[in-house]
Amino acid sequence: MSRPAAQRPRLGLIGYGAFGRLTARHLSPWFEVLAHDPAATAEEGDAARLTDLATAAACPVVILAVPVEGLAQTLSAIAPDLQEGALILDVGSVKVGPARLMAEHLPAHVQTVGTHPLFGPQSARDGIAGLRIAVCPVRGDRIARRVAAFCRHALKLKVFLVSPEDHDREAAVVQGLTHLISRVLLSMEPLPTRMTTTSFERIMQAVEMVRYDSPAVFRAIERENPYAAGVRDRFFDLAARARADLDDGAAAQASSGPPVGSLGSSGSPAS
């Protein structure tokens, strides 16, 4: 499926961190990837060539793999070098804010689409086929549908073509809760590793995937998503209710002796 080098269009990748490198690896069969990142140094086996900002920004396709909180500044910096008709995409964990920023800051002569690959270096260790990506129209549906088709057919991803609002509403739960729970568990370390249950191990596998995400990712998920605070409030309200129920029960139990179950009714240890 990959094209000979001479025929591959250039793709400018702004931001060459862990996710930028993953992006380069999976897009290099289709594009000649030119990456810009002042913090990056060339490594053996790199799928991208490092270059200056203006060169990366002047490519017919430009992917912004920078933290959501740095997006506005990046958009201002690349705007003068963007080519007429170029396609600009972001890969941030939230979509409402970035879509608005891209619509506001990018010149009218470029096309733009928001994406959120629902995976990272940890979960993509065995390849990206079958993993998920959200694709959000920013200016017009047509180019978004083309990006979606490429993700589906070339990258073999499961594609969700959704509005930025629908994305953020769902991500506020999926990512907001996962990261919140994981951060709290990480702060409780060391956690048991001996007498574990299968269900506890599943949770710890989730924690392990989140462990190496940067604080900027956590901030984007929890702060830049307009629905995250609401989900958090709901989680904490329900948790407080569960806690009160348990503490009430414990108090009632302490004052009236242990509850006595009916003889012979069937118990089961937890999964």
Nearest CB to a second copy, comparing residues 85 and 264: 264
Minimum distance from CB of 235 to a second copy (Å)? 6
Minimum distance from CB of 222 to a second copy (Å)? 5
Minimum distance from CB of 153 to a second copy (Å)? 20
Choose among 119, 117, 114, 116: nearest CA to 99.
Answer: 114
Nearest CB to a second copy, comparing residues 129 and 239: 239
Asked if residues 121 and 18 have their Cβ atoms less than 8 Å apart, the reply is: yes
DSSP label at 221?
I
The alpha-helical segments, DSSP class H, found in the chain are 18-27, 53-57, 71-78, 96-105, 141-153, 164-187, 198-211, 215-219, 228-256
Minimum distance from CB of 142 to a second copy (Å)? 22
Structure tokens at 259: 């509850």
List, in order, residues 6 or more apart from 119 with CB less than 8 Å away.
128, 131, 132
Nearest CB to a second copy, comparing residues 47 and 206: 206
Q: Which amino acid is at 8?
A: R
Determine the angle formed by the axes of helices 164-187 and 198-211, rounding to 10 degrees.
110
Element (H, E) at 49: strand 49-50
Minimum distance from CB of 113 to a second copy (Å)? 15
Nearest CB to a second copy, comparing residues 30 and 176: 176
Nearest CB to a second copy, comparing residues 149 and 246: 246
